[in-house]
Structure 1
Amino acid sequence: MSILVESFFHQQSATFSYLVSCQITKSTMLIDPPADFDAPSGTLSFSTANDIIIYINENQLALEWILESHAHADHITAASYIKQRLASQHPCKIATGSKITQVQQHFSRLYDIEMPCDGSQFEQLFNDNDSFKLGEQEVTILETPGHTPDSVCYLIAGNLFVGDTFFMPDSGTARCDFPGGSAKALYASLQRILALPDNTILWMCHDYQPNGRPLANKSSVIEQRTTNIHLQTNEQDYITARNSRDATLSVPKLLHPAIQMNIRAGQLPQQNTQAFVSIPLTVLL
């Protein structure tokens, strides 16, 4: 393989993050790194992120990019923390899809946050079919909206890092009930991915291990096309089933702190010398 892929699993959020390196140059990108958050105490820590930093240093990797597949609602990104910790030896860019501006605009209003909503918290915003070099390999960005409007996937050397579009075939596909989400848009994004060559490797961002099966993080286009439990039907049936299922799902436990930090690329929301996040109240009488 022309690239090396190392995965890290974050148990708290069932999230996989990936270090992807060019074998020849050791140029490296990191996808979807998580932080740890204890909600009752408001404690933010970085166990998995520190493991990633140790791996980068021990293997003498040259981290050039930290990439987000979207503004996650289930974990807080460690992107800014890792960038700062490695700044002296590995200056890198934090990047995400250009539709992050839509997400920023919505949630800055919801949380009453004064912040630029132009994506300037990120060094690079990607549009559909943009590309960049990772050593001797080319990375292509695919916009894959539906779960969120800013969702993107990263394609390199026959490997697609799918973010929250696909899960493993026995878990189906991502929810679409977040602001700007759309089951119709996600179906189109899934079909775009399924049009890639059959042997394209798809790397999952999450695995929830249904029925207690062992942890798994990759499948293929042909496996998803033929066995994904949500896609053995037509478009309208998929949309109906997806919307019905989403109506029964609980709000992610870390939604409020995660979104408030992730739309800022993981930068702490400071008030004077103290970092704060807020929780809007829904009052049922």
Structure 2
Amino acid sequence: MALRIHSFFHQQSATLCYLVWCEHSKHCLLIDAPADFDMPSGELSFSTANEIIAYIKQHKLSLQWLLETHAHADHITASSYIKQQLQHAHPCKLGTGEGIVHVQAHFSKLYNIDMPCNGEPFEQLFADKAQFQLGEFTVDVIATPGHTPDSVCYHINGNVFVGDTFFMPDSGTARCDFPGGSAAELYDSLQRILSLPDDTVLWMCHDYQPDGRALAYKTTVKEQREQNEHLKGDKQSFIAIRESRDATLAVPKLLHPSIQLNIRAGQYPLKSDDKQHYLAIPLTVLL
């Protein structure tokens, strides 16, 4: 029995997406699949998603789950697109953390979106410590709020897909200044991950390659505990470091389109009377 993991790197958003499968059953899941978006033109495309689809077909895998670690603010999810493309051959379901209902409630008001805030169109909302099967393997869901209230990690056979919690040790941890974010909650979430065995492999959702170093996408609990630059002190020290850094960070470039689509699992807004899809950008007017 073997678990296989293949990563895809999305250069535009520095996002790492993971295809994970049980070698015996060929059942697979996909975590944090990105779409491509050009802000000046409003062009949405799917080159990375199509690469993933081709890989699934080439290796004769059966896609069971399209999972999100949270509603991302820096890239648009391709989950609904992939589900649509594979729906006739694959029984895949959309899944995310149950906190998505709070994220939907907040941002549907901000963007004036008429939508149910009950988790739809996600088909499975995972509570903390939920479990499900991937072939011969059990997947454990770990709720990790702090970056966002809906953040979860997926623990599979000694591997944790950490979403926006940890970055590589030289990059620290994820920001906590989004609505519902909390540096104190993130610290507690990080400690849950650090309580796992030392050799547990942690798979990053992003790598920004500081100082131009080579791409890195996995580390271990032991390495994070010993080397993470934001975790060299106690909880109060972490909160101070995290909140101070967050105060200097710019708004993600794709914040508005990403959130509006991602709270709907990547489904497009309804077309207007002129048969066109539109997204909103709230104005902050400084006089």
The reply to whether TM is greater than 0.5 is: yes
> Shorter-chain TM-score: what band?
over 0.9
Q: Determine the C-alpha separation between the residues in 1 that align with 2:9 and 2:232.
A: 29
Provide the residue aligned with 1:137 in structure 2: 137
In the TM superposition, residue 270 of structure 1 has moved relative to its aligned partner by 1.6
The unaligned stretches of length 5 or more in structure 1 are none
Provide the residue aligned with 2:240 in structure 1: 240
Provide the residue aligned with 1:60 in structure 2: 60
Q: Determine the C-alpha separation between the residues in 2 that align with 1:275 and 1:201.
A: 41
Retained in 2: the 8 A contact 1:98–1:126?
A: yes
Q: How does 1:269-280 map to 2 (within 5 A)?
A: 269-272=269-272, 273-280=275-282
Say how many residue pairs are matched.
285
- Per-residue CA deviation, residues 180-208 of structure 1 (Å, 9 max, x unaligned), is 00000000000000000000000000000
- Per-residue CA deviation, residues 215-254 of structure 1 (Å, 9 max, x unaligned), is 0000000000000010011100110110011000000000
Letter in 1 for 2:210: P
Letter in 2 for 1:169: P
Q: Determine the C-alpha separation between the residues in 1 that align with 2:54 and 2:75.
A: 21
Provide the residue aligned with 2:82 in structure 1: 82
In the TM superposition, residue 271 of structure 1 has moved relative to its aligned partner by 2.6
Letter in 2 for 1:26: K
Retained in 2: the 8 A contact 1:10–1:34?
A: yes
Q: Determine the C-alpha separation between the residues in 2 that align with 1:43 and 1:72.
A: 19
Provide the residue aligned with 2:156 in structure 1: 156
Task: Give yes or no for the alignment of 1:43 onto 2:46.
Answer: no
Letter in 2 for 1:189: S
Q: Which moved more, 1:85-94 or 1:267-276?
A: 267-276
Q: Determine the C-alpha separation between the residues in 2 that align with 1:223 and 1:42.
A: 41
In the TM superposition, residue 120 of structure 1 has moved relative to its aligned partner by 1.8
Q: How does 1:1-285 map to 2 (within 5 A)?
A: 2-272=2-272, 273-285=275-287
Q: Determine the C-alpha separation between the residues in 2 that align with 1:87 and 1:108.
A: 28
Q: Determine the C-alpha separation between the residues in 1 that align with 2:280 and 2:27.
A: 38
Retained in 2: the 8 A contact 1:2–1:157?
A: no
- Per-residue CA deviation, residues 152-199 of structure 1 (Å, 9 max, x unaligned), is 000000000000000000000000000000000000000000000000
In the TM superposition, residue 210 of structure 1 has moved relative to its aligned partner by 0.7
Secondary structure of 2:13 counterpart: coil
- Per-residue CA deviation, residues 49-103 of structure 1 (Å, 9 max, x unaligned), is 0000000000000000000000000000000000000011112000000000000
Q: Determine the C-alpha separation between the residues in 1 that align with 2:103 and 2:116.
A: 12
Q: Which moved more, 1:264-273 or 1:198-207?
A: 264-273
Q: Determine the C-alpha separation between the residues in 2 that align with 1:276 and 1:80.
A: 18
Secondary structure of 1:274 counterpart: coil
Cα RMSD after superposing both structures: 0.7
- Per-residue CA deviation, residues 11-63 of structure 1 (Å, 9 max, x unaligned), is 00000000000011110000000000001110000010000000000000000
Q: Determine the C-alpha separation between the residues in 1 that align with 2:243 and 2:259.
A: 22
Q: Determine the C-alpha separation between the residues in 1 that align with 2:19 and 2:125.
A: 20
Secondary structure of 2:141 counterpart: strand
Q: Determine the C-alpha separation between the residues in 1 that align with 2:25 and 2:91.
A: 16
In the TM superposition, residue 2 of structure 1 has moved relative to its aligned partner by 2.0
Q: Determine the C-alpha separation between the residues in 2 that align with 1:24 and 1:216.
A: 28
Identity among equivalent pairs (%): 67
TM-score by length of 1: 0.99
Q: Determine the C-alpha separation between the residues in 1 that align with 2:276 and 2:197.
A: 50
Q: Determine the C-alpha separation between the residues in 1 that align with 2:219 and 2:148.
A: 22
